Structure 1
């Protein structure tokens, strides 16, 4: 097992998700196990291990990902008054696929 939930489950179609926004290279969807009242995940459709492991050839995908995060975060901020945009690295990154959390509200227990 590769410890990549996003490639193994989401992008393969094994786990269905509720899409928020999608482009050719990026998918944003509601987290399957939300930790916040509003919890959206944005991922590149291409496997990129993490923010610190981006090849120069993937800079365009990173830019597209940031554009999607910006749009989704603006919508969350407008609808809920505030949001956080979070990514994790190293041992904090459970799934080894670059992903960003766009969250708002209280953390769920």
Structure 2
């Protein structure tokens, strides 16, 4: 997708601190971290919003990768939050679906 920052990261045109990569997904640290641990898991296929997603296995893969990284980084036992924003009211700022994983501290509720 033209002018998509996440597609540019996938293509290697923009550097990112990669945490995981396979043929379907990429995980990297969020440059605008909102918690001590904050990374994104994205599909390599450009899908603009969660409303456009139609691959249940791919969506599940995003969650499984996030969980695996949280375990590897040592904060899964204390807990973390997974968030996927959708469109303007959901505060989606990059229109390429992405799963946020936040942890490393007590998170507050409600989030918004």
- TM bin, normalised by shorter chain, reads 0.7 to 0.9
Q: Deviations over 1:17-76 (max 9, x none)?
A: 111122210011111221221111000001011211113xx3332232232123224443
Larger strand percent:
1
The ranges of structure 1 where at least 4 consecutive aligned residues each deviate by more than 6 angstroms after the TM superposition are none
Q: Which has the higher contact order (CA 8 A, sep 6+)?
A: 1
Q: Could you tell me which residue of structure 2 aligns to residue 64 of structure 1? A: 61
Residue 14 (structure 1) shift: 2.2
State the Cα distance separating 1:4 from its structure 2 match: 2.6
Larger helix proportion of the pair: 1
Report the CA distance between 1:82 and its aligned residue.
Answer: 2.0
Structure 2: gaps (5+ residues) = 108-112
The structure-2 alpha-carbon separation of the partners of 1:63 and 1:84, relative to structure 1 and needing over 3 Å to count, comes to closer
1:1-109 to structure 2, matched below 5 A, reads: 4-7=4-7, 9-55=8-54, 58-75=55-72, 76-78=75-77, 81-91=78-88, 92-104=91-103, 105=105
Q: Contact conserved, 2:62 with 2:99, CA < 8 A, in 1? A: no
**Unaligned residue ranges in structure 1 (runs of 5+):** none
- SS state at 2:76 partner: helix
User: Residue 110 of structure 2 corresponds to which residue in structure 1?
Assistant: none
What is the TM-score normalised by the length of structure 1? Answer: 0.77
- 2: CA distance, partners of 1:63 / 1:86: 13
Query: CA RMSD of the aligned region, Å?
Result: 2.3
Post-superposition offset of 1:5 = 1.8
